Chains A and B, each alone.
Chain A
Amino acid sequence: MFLSIDINDRRAIYRQIADGIKALIAGGQLREGQSLPAVRQVAADLGVNLNTIAAAYRDLQSEGLIIVKRGLGATVASRNKAQQGAKHSEDELRRPLRTALTELVLAGMPRGQILDLVSDELRSLLKGTKS
């Protein structure tokens, strides 16, 4: 299982890592209880500061997606716990979607193409899940 990082991406590396792991959990490639590599391993692989990776893991932990135990590393939390931990209102969940859609509209993309794009992304995200 791989995590992709784009050096030219406008998002910070820690954000890309957190988003990448989130996508793998959402897509079912990372399952409950599965171990994640240690912060040091990811930092050494990418050649970045330890704090960068620690920040990504902290974000994921605060959203209830992973459990970090000192000395034991990080594991993927159960989806139920993640849903309880996140406690996002619908409006909160809509906000990033609205921002992304705004970007696409401003980029001049027609409605049909936006719908296709969203549908494609959703399909690829849910490729590994049963539902």
Chain B
Amino acid sequence: MNKPWINLAFYIFVIIARFPRIKERWVAPLLRGPDWFFDAALPPDFWKGAGTALLRNYRWRLFIPWGIEGAVLLTLWTASRLNGLSIALLILVIALYTRFNYYAARMAAENRARAFEPPDAIQTATNVALSLEPRTLWNYTNWWVEAAIALLFGAAALWMAFYPATDPLVPRKFIGFLIVSIYIQVGLLLVKLGIVRSSSIAPADNVEQYLAWRDSLRRFAIRMCDLSRVMFALYPLLLLSVITGGSVRLAAAIAFGILFIAVLIYEWQTRLKHLEVARRTKPARFPLLPAARNVRGLLGFWPSLPVLLLRTANGYALNLAAAPVRIAGVYFAGLACLCVWLAH
């Protein structure tokens, strides 16, 4: 099997890995049963009228990234540019776009469904409750995960130290790769911090169930973030096995494949547990903040508000003054500088 076919096989593997997520998004509007469309309560005749078209449109929109991805993939294949880097970039860009597309499709469909909602179906909660439990990164740290990451990096560094390199450039390049990997770990840790700090209020008449759902969502997102960190920490070892070649490469590829499948199964099972909690939780509607009442666009600058996403009448607006935006800016600028420095 030559290299383009290996790349294509890897790509097909990644596509198969996405199926559980596609299924989840496909059924997401009906998660709470036929009386709901996402968080919008439905009138009895909704599915006889506009509901079917609304659901069909939402589902069609989910396939837009697939169409784009297919076209790009075909172009890369015909131009013989289907290599490891182009595949990695395509997966990253499409993954981000798919997520954005899902939220946009969901928001648009949900807003349209709300027009059919009976007037008193969901009251806006004016009495809200918040938990007084401090949420810190420390409280949400799984020390087994941290130990595994440290061990993986340590093992990669040790392997490199005793690796009999024939090409003097290999150790230097690998050290660069290791530095970038550690930088990515820092980035993922910042994402985890953002998840820990994500806002959490509940309607006062359904506090415990609602906050349990928020906590389930937070813990699920943190688990996925930790899993990503472990998988990224594996890459230096995988790269070393590729450089070493021979039976080590084959063994590493098989081990990584098995681990990847195990992670996917774990992810799906954890997701199902979380979805069960979400299914049982009655949605709540909270009043808009005064700053959000007249917001129309997707971006804004509200230095006095410590929120990243401001809920508006039509969806959400990104608060460019929020600390995570500044941190992300500095982080990506640092990543660019690091890559330029390592390239030289």
Contact = CB atoms under 8 A, between A and B. Distances in A.
A61 to B, nearest CB: 16
A90 interface: no
Nearest to A38: B134
Contacts, number: 80
B192 to A, nearest CB: 15
B199 A47 contact: yes
Interface of B: 126-136, 197-202, 204, 207, 211, 287, 289, 304-307, 310-311
Contact of B130 (A5, A7, A40, A51): A5
B207 A2 contact: yes
Interface of A: 1-8, 21, 24, 30, 35-38, 40-51, 73
16 contacts: A1-B131, A1-B133, A4-B204, A5-B129, A7-B128, A37-B133, A41-B135, A41-B197, A44-B306, A45-B130, A45-B131, A45-B201, A46-B130, A47-B307, A48-B305, A50-B304
Nearest to B292: A47
B87 to A, nearest CB: 38
A4 B128 contact: yes
B207 A36 contact: no
A44 B133 contact: no
Contacts of B134: 35-38, 41, 73
A57 B255 CA distance: 53
Given A41-B197, A46-B201, A49-B305, A8 B126 contact: yes
A1 B129 CA distance: 10
Contacts of A38: 134, 136
| Central interface residue in B132, B200, B202, by most chain A CB within 10 Å | B132
A53 to B, nearest CB: 9
A5 B135 contact: no
Contacts of A3: 129-132
Q: Which 9 pairs of residues, A with B, have the shortest CB-CB distance?
A: A2-B129, A7-B126, A45-B130, A49-B304, A37-B134, A1-B132, A43-B306, A44-B199, A44-B306
Nearest to A35: B134
Contacts of B306: 40, 43-44, 49-50
Contacts of B202: 2
Contacts of A7: 126-128, 287
Nearest to B126: A7
Contacts of A21: 132
Contacts of B211: 2
Contacts of A73: 134
A6 B126 contact: yes
A10 to B, nearest CB: 13
A8 B128 CA distance: 11
Nearest to A53: B306
B255 to A, nearest CB: 41
A68 B296 CA distance: 39
A37 B126 CA distance: 22
Contacts of A42: 130
Contacts of A1: 131-133
B205 to A, nearest CB: 10
Report which residue of A8, A30, A46, A51 has the largest number of chain B beta carbons within 10 angstroms of its beta carbon.
A46
Instruction: Among A44, A48, A50, find the residue whose CB has the most chain B CB atoms closer than 10 A.
Output: A44
B135 A37 contact: yes
A4 B129 CA distance: 4
Nearest to B309: A47
